[in-house]
Structure 1
Amino acid sequence: MSGVIGDPTPVTPELLRATPLPRHRQGDDKDGRGRVLVVAGSVEVPGAALLCGIGALRAGAGKLQMATCRSVAPHLGMAAPEALVAGLDETPGGGISAEEADKLAKRAGRCDALLLGPGMADGDGEAAALTKRVLERMDPGPVVVLDAAALPDLEDGPAALRRHSGRVVLTPHAGEMAKLLGVPKEEVEADPLGAGRRAAGALGAVVAMKGGCTFVVDPGGAAWSCDLGQVGLATSGSGDTLAGLVAGLAARGASPVEATVWGVFLHAEAGNRLARTRGPVGFLARELLAEVPSIMAGLGPAEPG
């Protein structure tokens, strides 16, 4: 997917049909549709991992692994019988211990996409330490999607991301972007596209600057805009579903930019469908995901004709 520096390119169904997702042949096994590792959740927010993982599967990924705090892992496994669920050592604050980085780096190296961060507790800085160690120790190759507590900052982020150049996606909202850039939230809200371009260029990553109009920016400054969503998407867990969609699309073989642009559109259109059938507010983040397969089908065949 090519873009130009200047005004962002609107994301439309026509644009997506011109940049189709990878197609999978009848007879392909689940490995052929890609493997996703989701590292997410905490004792207080275990459901974030579930939303991300189901999002990856709804986007078409073939195999799902999830890793979360040991005390909640069995419950997550029951909620998502489609997934392998690994329990990890916990911090006293109920987060994933950074001492698990080596184990996670090995798992991630065997996958096609890694999603790290949603729902992770970071009051003690453990999530940031875990993220840095995993990025430093995992073999380059998988697409890395970072969200929430795993988002880096400009002080030490570039060093950890450099090994994965061209394979990283960041999905911050305005508050997270403000922390990432070290600026007031109001500055980001005044110029979200500029903030996205600054972060993408400095960190060498694709950035989805989430908001009423979401901007996707590549490291060179090319940008896409999607203003098709509506207020119902501003609900708990919505960002987790988007991160899962992007990771699932990347695992299937879409480039980081393609996976992000497609994911943003699918997320917005799922919200629009629910707004029509449920009402403009009050639908749940989990309900978005069941809409995604039919939206993808409407934008082009999943299988070769």
Structure 2
Amino acid sequence: MKCVAVDEALLRAWPLPAPDGDGDKESRGRVLVIAGSREIPGAAVLAATAALRAGAGKLLVATPASVWQLVAAALPEARVIALPESKDGGVEPEAVDLVASCADSTACVLVGPGMMGEATTAAFVEGLLPRFRNSTVVLDALGMECVRGGKRFSQPVILTPHAGEMAHLTGDEKEDLQSDPVAAAVRHAREWQAVLALKGATTCIAAPDGKAWRHESRTPGLGTSGSGDVLAGLIAGLAARGATPEQAVVWGVALHARAGETQALRTGKVGYLARELAAEVPALLDLLGP
């Protein structure tokens, strides 16, 4: 099975959409981040900040009512919407109506980082998908629960599981997934009709048509709380500014790894914080850009 290595040569040959020199924030796309919970409010901040650092033009964040003021204070660049919560700390499914009014102007929507309540989150996502049919949808963490039991998307969707999450979603053994991650990623990307990033030291990316990419990084410091939220935000920000789902994932994974490598040089191999990663991205974009 052919699997293309993600390296600097590939990135330079596959440049991201260039910002319009005469454009404004509208021309780089709006990203909607639906994330956070009363126990993990920081996930919304990490993901949303990363989306802006990746180049998205406008940011809207929707987060549970119990933490919306905290999130709003941490994100002065964003409009923040408070969503009604369920008893398990999740977002009530009817909250879809509160964000659906912006669907026509949203280039990408990210759902899942730091959210609580498996059942309520899955129901929320099911209600959200048809309302955002013309947006790229990135599902992370509990946002991916909707694929359990079988799912085939009919719109652009990106999924970002690590091996443990993938085992939970598919019923496969974690060890089997890790033994042949490329085959697993390709099989499930085709089954779900979604772009899939199976994360790990070697991250395998697959598209519904069978194309696959492999990114290898020995950056142990990225194995830290909040790192996945940053990656999801980077992917969403790149998609918002016009990258295709496949390109957004490939570039997002590469930028995330390179941000970790840069932090390792600044701070040490481990011990840097997820919140420090996104600030490295604008310079990396310039370095890798045309």
Q: Do they fold alike, i.e. is TM over 0.5?
A: yes
Q: Which amino acid aligns with 1:146?
A: L
Q: Who is 1:84 aligned against?
A: 79
Q: Who is 1:131 aligned against?
A: 125
Q: Which amino acid aligns with 1:83?
A: A
- CA distance in structure 1 between the aligned counterparts of 2:272 and 2:132, rounded to whole angstroms: 39
- Partner of 1:157: helix, strand, or coil? coil
Q: Who is 1:95 aligned against?
A: 90
1:62 aligns with 2:57: yes
Deviation at residue 139 of structure 1 after TM alignment: 4.0
Q: Which amino acid aligns with 1:150?
A: G
Deviation at residue 185 of structure 1 after TM alignment: 1.9
Q: Who is 1:209 aligned against?
A: 198
- CA distance in structure 1 between the aligned counterparts of 2:99 and 2:151, rounded to whole angstroms: 19
- CA distance in structure 1 between the aligned counterparts of 2:269 and 2:174, rounded to whole angstroms: 27
Comparing 81-90 with 147-156, greater Cα deviation is found at 147-156
- CA distance in structure 2 between the aligned counterparts of 1:247 and 1:22, rounded to whole angstroms: 14
Q: State the Cα deviation string for residues 206-247 of structure 1 (Å, max 9, x = none).
A: 101100100111111211111124111011110000000000
- Partner of 1:135: helix, strand, or coil? helix
The equivalences for 1:138-157 within 5 A come to 138-151=131-144, 152-157=146-151
- CA distance in structure 1 between the aligned counterparts of 2:102 and 2:85, rounded to whole angstroms: 18
Pick from 8, 15, 20: which aligns with 1:20?
15
Q: State the Cα deviation string for residues 150-183 of structure 1 (Å, max 9, x = none).
A: 113252422xx22x1xx11110011111122122
- Partner of 2:205: helix, strand, or coil? strand
Q: Who is 1:44 aligned against?
A: 39
Q: State the Cα deviation string for residues 49-93 of structure 1 (Å, max 9, x = none).
A: 111100100000000000000121011011010000000001112
RMSD: 1.3
User: Any gaps of 5 or more consecutive residues in structure 1?
Assistant: 1-5
TM-score by length of structure 1 reads 0.92
Number of aligned positions between the proteins: 289
Deviation at residue 20 of structure 1 after TM alignment: 0.6
Q: State the Cα deviation string for residues 113-171 of structure 1 (Å, max 9, x = none).
A: 00001111025x111111111113x142111100100113252422xx22x1xx11110
- Runs (4+) off by over 3 Å: none
User: Any gaps of 5 or more consecutive residues in structure 2?
Assistant: none
- Partner of 2:147: helix, strand, or coil? coil
Query: 2:195–2:208: 8 Å Cα contact kept in structure 1?
Result: yes
Query: 1:230–1:272: 8 Å Cα contact kept in structure 2?
Result: yes
The equivalences for 1:1-305 within 5 A come to 6-123=1-118, 125-136=119-130, 138-151=131-144, 152-158=146-152, 161-162=153-154, 164=155, 167-301=156-290
Query: 2:36–2:64: 8 Å Cα contact kept in structure 1?
Result: yes
Identity of aligned residues (%): 48
TM-score by length of structure 2 reads 0.96
